[in-house]
Structure 1
Amino acid sequence: MQKIAYFSAEFGLDESLPIYSGGLGILAGDHVKAAADLNIPLTGVGILYGKGYFQQRIDDSGWQHHLYPDINLAASVYPVELVRDGYGQPLLIEIPLEGRKVFAKSYAVQVGSVTLYLLNTDVESNSEADRRLTDTLYPGAQDVRISQEILLGIGGTRLLTALGIKPEVWHMNEGHCAFLTLERIRMLSAQGIPFETALEVVKASTVFTTHTPVPAGHDVFSIGMMDRYFGDYYWQLGVDRDRVLSLGCIDGAFNMTRLAVSTSSRVNGVSKLHGEVTKELFHRWMPHIAIPDIPVDSVTNGIHTGTWLGHGLKELFDCHLPSDWYLQAADPDVWTAVRDIPDHELWEEHKRAKSKMLRTFGLSLPATDELPLIIGFARRFATYKRALLIFSDPERLSRILSAANRPVVLVFAGKAHPSDGPGQDLIRKIVELSHDDRFKGHVHIVENYAMDKAKLLVQGVDVWLNTPLKPMEASGTSGQKAALNGVLNCSVLDGWWVEGYNGHNGWAIESAVDTDSELQAKEDTEELYRLLEEEIIPLFYNRVEGNVPEGWVNLMKESICSLAPVYNTNRMVTDYWNKMYVPTSARGKRFAADHFEVASRVAAYKQFIRSNWSRVKISKVDVHNNNSFRAVIQLGAVWHQDVRVEAVGSDGHRGIWKVVLEPVQQLDKGLYVYEGASSDIPVHDIWQANPNVRVTPVSPDFANDHEMEMATWG
């Protein structure tokens, strides 16, 4: 395989190159590092933000201030070089913006064997306003946001073309970069390839990872804004404006996630639960497809072991684990040796990491002989993450934190987007609580949360707390970083923790998803307090000879052994390779071969199906108690071998069962009788399953059974 092009709006490689805001960027940076570790031929494409994401300062009143110093490229721990052309001049890429030409230079960041290219518009030939387009990450102004996404998608594609890089697989990490698919179609159109054929070529070689489980998290632009920025671009794709807009148009606006889904052959969420939540989210776009059948896969996120493992713990692992343990990090057998590490050695190393964190942050703690139990809560301050949940009953929490001889300390960290007023209010409230006499010395907030401080926290606290409103956490990799370092998770069963929790490697706040968020918060708070009072605090302070909490250390070992081999980027990127990259590469080659023969055939077939599908009707359905089905179906001009007919019903557990029906009689031209039966339907009363019959267009050339997002129901 040649190269995989991995596009992302942010990359968190290191705090010295602050072009990331949070989990999405950190994940992208870890993805790049793992690809380098595994010698996967990947090329990254992003934006070099001249001022990066904002630097956070929190004043004594809790107000968050936003500072934007220029990034010092010379300070990056990764080599950063300006990309030059064959004449030694900066290689400039031309991007169309509102009918004008904007130029971008690019920088190459070398991460082992992987090169990450970063575009930047601070070019002398641009206007002053255009030079500032790439100053900051996730700007609030829609005009700047769409300009950055055009730069990333269209400009990034043109950059790879200028460099002679011809990816076999194009991976879109979130929808910010989805305009790359339009540019690829435009390039094919310029070669005389019809739009529908070009769309199939692009779709066949593209994969899309979505990270956001809530509708508000997806970029949406008005149709008027699309017309302003793409008015001179639509026609270059070889089709009319309405067809281009149809790829992303939802509810009268242009949705970047919808564009990404429409132009990808494989779509995945970032945990198993997130994959299911995404299916429900996408169901409003595909109302004729049953939710379990919506074509969304999942690849659960992981973290880069070398980046997030504390230095002292790494040395301990080097002494006790097999010599090549780092190269075999995804092998569970490699980690079993952690159980043989003497308890006092593991505990002393954790205490050193804890002391380093406290010294660096300068936190004042309650006066005790031993370091207290420290609980960390660090993430973006979005309201659904419920940072204040633990304060729901202040009096009870005060008693928990300040119990005699068993003190507990809470350490918070995180930023709220400059446009997120409610998120900033959360920070202000925590600062106020830290000054409250009931919590003084027991509640702290660390400002300017970034990768350097994240490392100290995930290595130095005792418990990693995560209390999102389920199911709104897509994955939540910070808990994975903590687990690698022997820090125990206490989390709502959301995101990755649903898969990771085994009943013996941390604690689960077993939240039931409730439409009443206040009731859910009340239940979650009660369970959190119970866990603290009855399990977490007693276990931490139950000491044996040498002042080692034996039960706690055993839990640390179980956490590392059960989680470290699974939730790492070696496993994650290997999953992407096997599930996404290899099949997509093969599919892309097949669709492009022989002058796009397969792509042309699929495009023509889809156009035929769309033109004739309105005449597909199910005129009669008979369901019998012996689980047999009979349906009379009018297919019209559609060939009976181009459809799948199924009886479908509920299994009573949010899933469905399906029974394939076969044509047994042709009553008239295009009119068929279908029948089928099954003894494996998982319901006692067939009528409770609300059975129905559906007809779906199929083709051996489709990436999945529901690629056309069409079905006719009885």
Structure 2
Amino acid sequence: MQNGGVAYFSAEFGLDESLPIYSGGLGILAGDHIKAAADMNIPLTGVGIFYGNGYFQQRIDDGGSQQHLFPEVDLEASAYPVQLLRDDKGQPLIIAVPLNGRQVYAKAWFVQLGSVTLYLLNTDVESNSGSDRRLTDKLYPTDHDVRISQEIILGIGGARLLAALDIRPDVWHMNEGHCAFLTLERIRMLSAEGVPFETALEAVKASTVFTTHTPVPAGHDVFSIDMMDRYFGDYYWQLGTDRERVLSLGRLGGAFNMTRFAVSTSSKVNGVSKLHGDVTREMFHRWMPHIPKQDIPVDSVTNGIHVGTWLASGMKELFDRHLPSDWTVRTAEQEVWAAVRHIPHNELWEEHQRAKSKMLQEFGLPLTTFGEEPLIIGFARRFATYKRALLIFSDPERLARILGDQDRPVCLVFAGKAHPADGPGQDLIRKLVELSREERFKGRVYIVENYAMDKAKKLVQGVDVWLNTPVKPMEASGTSGQKAALNGVLNCSVLDGWWVEGYNGRNGWAIEGATDGDLEHQTKQDSKALYRLLEEEIIPLFYKRDDQTVPMEWVNLMKESICSLAPVFNTHRMVSEYWHKVYVPASERGKRFAADNFEVASRVAAYKQFIRNNWSGVRVRKADIMADQSSRIGLNKTAFRAEIQLGAIWHKDVRVEAVGSDGHCGIWKVKLEPVQQQAKGLYVYEGAYPDVSINLWKANVNVRVTPISPDFANDFEMELSAWG
């Protein structure tokens, strides 16, 4: 039996290109997360799916159309040994998963990364029907029935697998909403032991955390209520409650939303950058309009990258020579990286040139025709329309002049896949191929097909500038630019995702175009800003040699980029932050809620039920603002007085506040105290704004009542508020 630790569930894991069970950023992040946990000896178990055909292999035909090939994943070729999980008798361990009224069986493969084990479920089992054996063939299928089946296999099957292995995690981490059904299975297991549903829900919530990566509502998985009924009709009753209560956990806009469900069953929610935390609060505010977006309980842990995976071998040797001998285990320490400033300029530049040559050789790019290697700008990521791969082509004539300068040649290298169901994304690839064949762009614009981890490594290590042009704020975090920065490649990016936190004015370039207006206006302004940077700053600096072979000022920027970004945007810092901010509190909370036969979970469940049953009787009857007058609270202060009807609810079970806008997208709050009971359940509350000089109380001020408990994970756990 293995007690404790973290169970980390994700629909995809990018460990290595030889194990292509990832599609992009989410999977790469999950792979880097568990590698860092292994480096740091953090007790963590990964759970995912082994996709028999993986994510598709991309071929671009003569017409520029993306072809999708699904060869079988070759386990023998994997850089990480993938082994079949067997029971005590040496037989494959098989898990039964309920699916649409039938049982589907899954076996599990496992990959060992130091102290971390990653388990991968797969339904290619003889006892399954032909169609069920194919359920786990492809990642992110377009068929909704296959999609929900995979998510049930991942969530419910994954929880059953850990139970069969007698692994009992303290913390369950859901990396995106695909795996959220694991919370239902955990509730079902407790229900089978006689724990009432609401108590089981509180116990499960207490030890579950959720990371959301998607900044747009359209990016979240949604299943119809009919589909939920089909797949869970025989399952609802096993949870110890009725169908309506189960569906209420994820119901949004007449359907079942997996992100909404994950939020309802977690005690902690985080975005993957500070800006993404803000964007997520804004999005969740639409679900909870009575809670100001500033109060929505979403934290953030900014993504990082696994240094050992993404650093070029030559660059690592250079760092080995100049950084402290134990630098690889101290990657999150600023002073370790400060030594990069003392690396001789020519050594850093020559190492980058070597990585650049390797990349050119690897991709067969005939750039030697320029005599000296040109400035190479890389753009490589998923071809989704919001990432705006063609922004740099907004003014083709101007771009042709920039790229075609004989004295200061510039080349663009593109790579990326579009999801097989994403028509507009595939159109971008087709258009890019057409542009690359135009006479003015020939030999200046290249496309690398079948983008995967191996190609990504060469690109982030070998280009000179890493370009990123998403529509702000649609990039949750992005990590490819972090990989580039680690290798001395300079970022030129819209101030979105992680770059808002990373950019300091001396370590790359920010495309500061439009921050408002419609998409067309934003695109126009962003492209203008990009062309200006290329013409006036980036290209002149790259070719400024001052009679030397090394561009000294450019190398200074490379050093600043490595020193300022590498110690912050790496997975050792990220996983350490998850450990202290997320895992340890959730572990303690989960243990407390489960102790003494679920005493705290039971109490919280009963308390919430009481509050819900009586909340309709809570109202703010009267609210007065008394400027610069004396009150019981104090003299010459902006004072607030409110009459609050609480009905059956005790006055110590609520917080009463005056809440107002600060005029700068923030809010201020003043806690009001009960000073008089006028009748049964009717109280007078008063409070004062501490700063007389501030006049902000005049605009947009109101009084709010919120249920509170020392056992809540946050102030708005019940998502209830009564306003004046």
Q: State the TM-score, normalizing by the size of structure 1.
A: 0.99
What is the CA distance between 1:463 and its match in structure 2? 0.4
Out of 652, 670, 673, the position equivalent to 2:684 is 673
Q: 1:149 maps to which residue?
A: 151
C-alpha distance in 1 between matches for 2:205 and 2:716 = 14
Segments ≥4 residues shifted beyond 4 Å: none
| Residue 692 (1) aligns with residue 692 (2) | no
Alignment match, 2:477:
475
What residue in structure 1 maps to residue 399 of structure 2? 397
Contact 2:659 2:704 in 1 (8 A): yes
Match of 1:370, SS? coil
1:355 and 1:625 map into 2 onto residues whose CA distance is 71
Distance 1:446 1:265 in 2: 43
Distance 1:368 1:89 in 2: 61
Name 1:662's counterpart in structure 2.
Answer: 673
Following superposition of structure 1 onto structure 2, how do residues 177-326 of structure 1 map, counting pairs within 5 Å? 177-326=179-328
Return the alpha-carbon distance in structure 2 between the equivalents of residues 114 and 555 of structure 1: 37
**C-alpha distance in 2, partners of 1:511/1:208?**
33
Matched with 1:136 is 138
Give 3-state SS (helix, strand or coil) of 1:65's partner. strand
The match for 1:539 among 541, 551, 554 is: 541
Please point out which of 624, 637, 642 is paired with 1:631: 642
User: Could you tell me how far apart the structure 1 residues matched to 2:336 and 2:180 are?
Assistant: 39
Aligned positions, number: 713
Could you tell me how far 1:687 is from its partner in structure 2?
Answer: 1.5
The one of 491, 508, 511 equivalent to 2:510 is 508
Aligned partner (choices 24, 31, 34) of residue 32 of structure 1 = 34
1:44 aligned counterpart, secondary structure? strand
Alignment-mate amino acid for residue 635 of structure 1: L
SS in 1 for 2:500: helix
CA distance in structure 2 between the partners assigned to 1:336 and 1:680 by the alignment: 43
For residues 611-659 of structure 1, what are the alpha-carbon distances to aligned partners after superposition, in whole Å with 9 as ceiling and x for unaligned?
0000101011111333211111100001000000011111112111110
Residues 31-54 of structure 1: per-residue CA shift (max 9 Å, x gap): 000000000000000000000000
CA contact (8 A) 2:508 2:557 kept: yes
The residue matched to 1:51 in structure 2 has which SS?
coil
Distance 2:324 2:522 in 1: 45
Contact preservation (8 Å) 2:216, 2:474 = yes
Match of 1:465 in 2: 467
- CA deviation map 1:151-191 (0-9, x unaligned): 00000000000001000000000000000000000000001
Alpha-carbon distance in 2 for matches of 1:444, 1:419? 25
Show the counterpart of 1:444: 446
Q: CA deviation at 1:473?
A: 0.2
The percent of aligned pairs where both chains have the same amino acid is 77
1:703 counterpart residue number: 713
Residue type at the aligned position of 1:340:
H
Matched, 1:11 2:13: yes
Match of residue 550 from structure 2: 548
Q: Alpha-carbon deviation of 1:75?
A: 1.1
- Separation of aligned partners in 2, 1:349 and 1:9: 37
Contact 1:667/1:673 (<8 A) preserved: yes
TM, length-normalised to structure 2: 0.98
Letter in 2 for 1:574: S
In 1, Cα distance between the equivalents of 2:688 and 2:322? 58
TM superposition shift of 1:79: 1.6
Provide the secondary structure at the position in 2 that maps to 1:535.
helix
Q: Which amino acid aligns with 1:693?
A: V
What SS does the aligned partner of 1:367 have?
helix
The one-letter amino acid of 1:251's match is G
Structure 2 contact 513–522 (Cα < 8 Å) conserved: yes
Q: Deviations over 1:485-517 (max 9, x none)?
A: 000000000000000000100000124432401
Distance 1:81 1:268 in 2: 33
1:189, 1:236 within 8 Å by CA — same for their partners in 2? yes
Q: CA deviation at 1:366?
A: 7.0
Of 278-287 and 299-308, deviating more is: 278-287
Matching of residue 44 in structure 1 with residue 46 in structure 2 = yes
Matches within 5 A, 1:165-176: 165-176=167-178
Q: 1:561-591 CA distances to partner (integer Å, 9 max, x unpaired)?
A: 0000000000000000000000000000000
Which of 583, 589, 601 is equivalent to 2:603?
601
Distance 1:592 1:235 in 2: 23
1:699 maps to amino acid? S
Tell me the C-alpha RMSD between the 2 structures. Answer: 1.0
Choose from 484, 491, 494 the match for 2:493: 491
8 Å contact 1:366–1:442 — kept in the other structure? no
1:69 aligns with 2:95: no
The alpha carbon displacement at 1:681 in A equals 8.1
Q: Is the 8 A contact 1:82 1:108 kept in 2?
A: yes
| Residue aligning to 2:4 | 2
Distance in 1 separating the partners of 2:79 and 2:587 = 33
Pairing partner for 1:651 from 656, 662, 665: 662
Which letter does structure 2 place at the counterpart of 1:35? Answer: A
Cα distance in 2 for partners of 1:445, 1:684 equals 58
1:435-455 deviations in Å (ceiling 9; x for gaps): 011111111110000000000
Aligned AA (1:650): S
Cα distance, 1:703 vs. partner? 0.2
Contact 1:99 1:232 in 2 (8 A): yes
Partner-residue secondary structure (3-state), 1:254: strand
Secondary structure class of the residue paired with 1:438: helix
CA deviation profile, 1:338-365 (whole Å, cap 9, x unmatched): 0010101000000010011011101123
Letter in structure 2 aligned against 1:247:
L
The aligned residue for residue 632 of structure 2 is none
TM-aligned CA deviation for residue 682 of structure 1: 8.8
Q: Which amino acid aligns with 2:401?
A: R
C-alpha contact 1:366 1:407 (8 A) present in aligned 2: no
| Alignment-mate amino acid for residue 408 of structure 1 | V
Residue of structure 1 equivalent to 2:568: 566
Residue 563 to residue 680, structure 1, CA distance change in 2 (3 Å): farther
